[in-house]
Amino acid sequence: MTNTNCLENIVCPHCGHTDSFIIEVKTHADVTDEGAVTFGPMHWDEWSLIQCKHCDTAGTVAEFTREPQQHKPSHRPYSVLLLYPDTGDGLETYYAHTEAENPDAAIANARTEAQAVNPGMEAGDFLPLIVLPGHIEAELFYRDIAPW
C-alpha cells in the first residue's frame, strides 16, 4: 500500500515496510510532578528519528523518504560548445553546461543562454561545434581554436 497522507513517501529502506513506524515527535505536554499528559498537534520533520515497526531499522525521516516517481522526460547533462556569430573579431566560443532530453535540446538551451548574456545576438546564429554528454569542466583558450 502506498502512503498518501501522514506517511506520504515514507518507506523502510531495509524491508520496504510502509504500514507503521515509530516517529519521534514534538508536541505539548501538561507536566506536573506526577507526570505528563500530551496534548495538541504533533510535529516531525526530515530530521526526526523514525523506526520501522516491522524490522526495527532506525534512521531519520529523510532516510526513510523515497522520492516520488516522476513521469516527466528524463533530462540528462550535456556540455555544449558554441561558436559566436561572425562579428569580425575572430573566433570566439561559448561553453555551457545544461540539462536536456537530447543533444538538440541541449544546443537550444545553450543558444538561449548565450543570447541572454550577449544582448543583440540571435540564439540561432551561435553555431554548435560539439555536444558532449555529461558536465565536463573545460579550460578553453581562444588560441586553441583560432587559426594559426
- Which residues contact Zn ion by CB under 5 A? 12, 14-15, 17, 52, 54-55, 57
Shortest distance, CB of residue 49 to Zn ion, whole angstroms?
14
Nearer to Zn ion, 50 or 131 (CB): 50
Q: How many helices (H) and strands (E) are present in the chain, helices listed first?
A: 2, 8
| Shortest spacing between CB 94 and Zn ion, in angstroms | 51
63 versus 99: smaller Cβ distance to Zn ion = 63
How many other β-carbons are positioned within 10 Å of the β-carbon of residue 79?
19
Beta-strand relationship, 76-83 and 21-23: unpaired
Tell me how far apart the alpha carbons of residues 12 and 62 are, in angstroms, rounded to a whole number.
11
In whole angstroms, what is the distance from residue 105 CA to residue 78 CA? 10
**Min separation Cβ 57 and Zn ion, Å:** 5
Nearer Cβ to Zn ion (10/83): 10
